[in-house]
A and B are shown apart, each in its own frame.
Chain A
Amino acid sequence: ETGVTQTPRHLVMGMTNKKSLKCEQHLGHNAMYWYKQSAKKPLELMFVYNFKEQTENNSVPSRFSPECPNSSHLFLHLHTLQPEDSALYLCASSKRERGPTGELFFGEGSRLTVL
C-alpha cells in the first residue's frame, strides 16, 4: 500500500473510445503528477498539478485531458487515442512544505492498451 491508488490497473480500448484513468492519494500531499512509461524510453512527465492548479503541460497531445477536482484526486481523460499511446500511466504525488523535495510517491500504474 503506497498511499496512491490508481484505477483501473488494466485498460484495453479502441481508438474511438472515451475512457478515464483515476488516481487518489491518501497522503495529504498538495501536488499530483501524470507520467507515461513506455518500453525502452525514459519516464515522460505529462502534467503537474500544484494545489489543484495545472502548472505544467509537457506538450501532451489534446487527446489526453487531465482534471484535478481537489488535491486528493487526479483524472486523465482519454479520447481518440492512437496505438502508440499504449503504455503504463503512472500517477504520483508529493508534499511541498518549505519548497520542493523531489520525493514523489507513485501509484502502481494503469496499463493501457490501445487497439
Chain B
Amino acid sequence: GNSVTQMEGPVTLSEEAFLTINCTYTATGYPSLFWYVQYPGEGLQLLLKATKADDKGSNKGFEATYRKETTSFHLEKGSVQVSDSAVYFCALSLKTSYDKVIFGPGTSLSVIP
C-alpha cells in the first residue's frame, strides 16, 4: 500500500541548531512529495513540495530533496528559530482523479531560546 513514515518525535532543539526530520515513503508509481507544517492552534499549511525525482523543494529556509533511490524526502534547516516550533507532516500525493494526499504521523518540533 501507499504510506509515509516519519521519525518519532518530539524533537527539541536549541535556537540556531541544525534540523533534520527524516521521511520515507512507499507508493505505487511516482508520487509528488510534500512537507506540511501545523503551528499551534492552526490547520496545516504547505511548506514545500517536489514533484519528481531529484527535485529540491525549499521555503522559509527549509529544504527537502526527492530521492527516488532511497524513497526519502528528509526535511532540513540550517538554523532553526523559536518560531519554527510546530508539527511537521511529510506527505505524498498520488496522481488520481483528485488530490489524494497521504500524510505521515507528524513530528513535533520545539525550539528553545
Contact = CB atoms under 8 A, between A and B. Distances in A.
A109 B45 CA distance: 12
**Secondary structure class of chain B's binding surface, majority of residues:** strand
B100 A103 contact: no
A50 B98 contact: yes
Contact of B98 (A42, A100, A103): A100
B44 to A, nearest CB: 5
Interface residues on B, range: 20 to 34
A101 B105 contact: no
Contacts of B91: 102
Nearest to B41: A108
Interface residues on A, range: 20 to 34
B98 A96 contact: yes
B25 interface: no
A104 B99 contact: yes
A71 to B, nearest CB: 13
B105 A45 contact: no
Contacts of A42: 4, 103-106
A18 B101 CA distance: 30
A62 interface: no
A76 interface: no
Interface in A82-109: 90, 92, 94, 96, 99-109
Interface of A: 2, 4, 6, 31, 33, 40-43, 45, 48, 50, 55-56, 90, 92, 94, 96, 99-109
The 8 closest A-B pairs by CB, nearest first: A102-B93, A106-B43, A100-B99, A43-B103, A94-B99, A106-B44, A50-B98, A42-B105
Interface of B: 4, 32, 34, 36, 41-46, 49, 89, 91-93, 95-106
5 contacts: A42-B105, A42-B106, A43-B89, A55-B98, A96-B98
